[in-house]
Structure 1
Amino acid sequence: MIQNYKPGFIVILLAVFALLHGCAINKATATVDPTTDLSSLKVFHVKKSAEDTRDVNVIIENKLEAIGFQVSETGNDADAIITYVDKWFWDITFYMLELTITVRDPKNDFPLASGNSMHSSLSRKSPEKMVDEVLANIFVGKQKQGAKNEK
């Protein structure tokens, strides 16, 4: 059957497959400082990014509360400060390409833990799913460390 096709067509077909193969990128990682006990963290303050026009901070706050953590309006009574960087990309519509969330010590801004999620257009996720993925990777386990087990 393949002998019926011209060699140029086969080369073009292979090139298309090679290009399409590289279009889907999925990456989800997390690192926790080995001296950090995440289970001691109960109250978080999410510091809104100056560049954020899509209220990603609210999505993070809602997810933290949904998994049993408390969210503080100010960093004064927080056990940790959450900072984040969200990158958006245009491909017919805007979508969140990458999200990095960092858990920081409120006393010295030291990064206690960090998580990242990146999904290109073909494997894109909603901002809510990206936040879910990053927080789940940071606070590993069936029951999130430090969260109240109310459910």
Structure 2
Amino acid sequence: MSSEKARGIDLIDKAILAMLQNNADTPVAEIAEQVGLTVTPCWRRIQKLEEKGIISRRVALLQAKQLDLAMTVFVQVKAGRHDGKWLASFAKHAASFDEVVECYRMSGEYDYLLKVLVTDMDCFDHFYKRLVNGIEFSDVTSSFAMEQIKYTTSVPLNHI
């Protein structure tokens, strides 16, 4: 285990985390029963995992396609400049779009990777125009996902 934060997690914590990743609405009593604890110690463990920041929040996962967000686009961006001001400006700009659901600073040929969810090509075109009008880029390219092979929000726990 390489992370300082992951230290102190035992097999019971790991089982609790696995259950919560699968369904955050699982009643504490059910989790406690599955991991061999009574409710109060189980609840304390969950609170401790939250305090440590290992559990950052509990959310509802929505089906993008059911909400007509049928198009996933990966947008790669080359920085217009490589200085702190541009980097901060781009981070703020990218984060301002609801369509951007993930944004990463990357190594390699492109500096940033955005995951964008939109309804269709017209919606993407509208997004793209707003993206490129707001800030100077060296290059921008987009790839359209044709099929989602795997999607999970679960973090691997097998290293613990």
TM-score range, shorter chain: under 0.3
Instruction: Give TM-score scaled by structure 1 length.
Output: 0.25
Q: Greater strand share, 1 or 2?
A: 1
Normalised to the residue count of structure 2, the TM-score between the two structures is 0.24
Select the structure that is richer in helix.
2
